[in-house]
Structure 1
Amino acid sequence: MNKEHLTNKLSSLALSMFRKDFFGIFHGSISAKTESNRFIINTKEAIFDALDNSSLIELYYKKDYRWNQASIDSNIHHSIYSQISDAKFICFSMPPFTTAYSLDHNVIIPRDYFGYSEIGSIDIFDPRNFDDWYERASSEIAYYFQSKKSDIMVIRGYGVYTYNRDIHEMAKKIAILEKSCRLLLLDNAQKDSSFD
């Protein structure tokens, strides 16, 4: 797949996710594998509603000066790409309802049709100590994906990591998960208000 086409795909998805508040101005990361030892990822300064060639950078697995310009999440993306052959696209986002739901629950069990049929239940990963999370994240996230045989990971108070061979399937899963968590939170709020 040529790089211009990949850039357009990443830019289009990033804009859509930015509009849904899944990405902040400088919060989140999105990447695509370009070859067996390379991937494109957003830069540190990328603004997700306007990704273009200047806000994406291609990294080789062997670290060089370009890694200094790349997203803080580059090590995590590298770890996933190098250990999971099915990963062609990776996204880290912070969808608000999913992240909020993760704060007080250990598992997400969708009660809506699409969440139930497309995603099923997802254990919420507890990163424990945020102080050293970025030092552990690249190994713990890749290990979670491999051990759970899952392509989506909800991390308590942090956000969602997902990968897929197809960028549209990856986006669809995040959107379904977010809608399911929103419905669960609305249902919980309705039950709480009925006790008042």
Structure 2
Amino acid sequence: MNKEHLKKKLSSLALSMFRKDFFGIYHGSLSAKTEINRFIINTKEAVFDTLDNTSLIELYFKKDYRWNQASIDANIHYSVYSQISDAKFISFSMPPFTTAYSLEHNIITPKDYFGHKEIGSIEIFDPRNFDDWYERANSEIAYYFQSQKTDIMVIRGYGVYTFNRDVYEMAKKLSILEKSCKILLLNEKNSNSAFY
């Protein structure tokens, strides 16, 4: 697998997602599996509108000194890659409308055509206690993907984890989900204002 080509794909996707406000300056993570026991992920200091060779690092499944430079989400990505063979790309993002919708709802049921056809209903996962979420996240996220037989996980008040074999399909699904949640929120707002 051409690692330079993979890095360019990740950089291009990161810029696009940054422009849509899915990533913050230092918030989010993006990775690609390079071999059966390795993956490329952004570093802790990565700025998502300018991902380059200095802000991407290749990690072996066996932890070494490089893990200290990697994203705080590296353990979660490792857990998904090591347990789900279909995972070739993983992202963690915080799309604003999806995250906002997750605060007050338990399920996302798109009412727009593309959301309905491409995504369908998605149950919102409640992480319960944020204080110990990062200690539980690597096992709970991989378990959720496997038990629910899904490639997308909306976590209440936290964001969205997704994986795919194709980086563009992953981005497309995230984009459709975000648009669907925006439509749902606008629809709620219009319905509520009709009563006043």
Give the structure-1-normalised TM-score: 1.00
1:17-43 CA deviation, whole Å, 9 max, x = no partner? 000000000000000000000000000
- In structure 2, the partner of 1:84 is 84
Q: Alpha-carbon deviation of 1:137?
A: 0.1
Task: Give the aligned length.
Answer: 196
- In structure 1, the partner of 2:25 is 25
State the alpha-carbon separation in 2 of the partners of residues 100 and 41 from structure 1.
Answer: 26
Aligned ranges 1:112-191 → 2 under 5 Å: 112-191=112-191
Structure 1 counterpart of 2:148, one-letter code: K
- Quote the RMSD (CA, aligned, Å): 0.3
1:124-145 CA deviation, whole Å, 9 max, x = no partner? 0000000000000000000000
Structure 2 counterpart of 1:134, one-letter code: Y
Q: Alpha-carbon deviation of 1:195?
A: 0.6
**Other structure's SS at 2:91 match:** strand
Q: Alpha-carbon deviation of 1:53?
A: 0.4
State the alpha-carbon separation in 1 of the partners of residues 166 and 3 from structure 2.
Answer: 16
State the alpha-carbon separation in 2 of the partners of residues 159 and 172 from structure 1.
Answer: 16
**Other structure's SS at 1:184 match:** helix
State the alpha-carbon separation in 2 of the partners of residues 105 and 194 from structure 1.
Answer: 21
Give the structure-2-normalised TM-score: 1.00
- Which runs of 5 or more structure 2 residues have no equivalent in the other structure? none
- In structure 1, the partner of 2:13 is 13
Q: Alpha-carbon deviation of 1:183?
A: 0.1
State the alpha-carbon separation in 1 of the partners of residues 7 and 146 from structure 2.
Answer: 28
- Which runs of 5 or more structure 1 residues have no equivalent in the other structure? none
Q: Alpha-carbon deviation of 1:109?
A: 0.2
State the alpha-carbon separation in 1 of the partners of residues 72 and 192 from structure 2.
Answer: 39
**Other structure's SS at 1:172 match:** helix
Structure 1 counterpart of 2:21, one-letter code: D
- In structure 2, the partner of 1:50 is 50
**Other structure's SS at 2:137 match:** helix
**Other structure's SS at 1:23 match:** coil
- In structure 2, the partner of 1:105 is 105
Q: Alpha-carbon deviation of 1:161?
A: 0.2
- In structure 2, the partner of 1:95 is 95
1:70-101 CA deviation, whole Å, 9 max, x = no partner? 00000000000000000000000000000000
The runs of 4+ residues in structure 1 deviating greater than 2 Å are none
State the alpha-carbon separation in 1 of the partners of residues 15 and 90 from structure 2.
Answer: 16
Structure 2 counterpart of 1:114, one-letter code: F
**Other structure's SS at 1:190 match:** helix
Q: Alpha-carbon deviation of 1:111?
A: 0.3
Structure 2 counterpart of 1:176, one-letter code: I
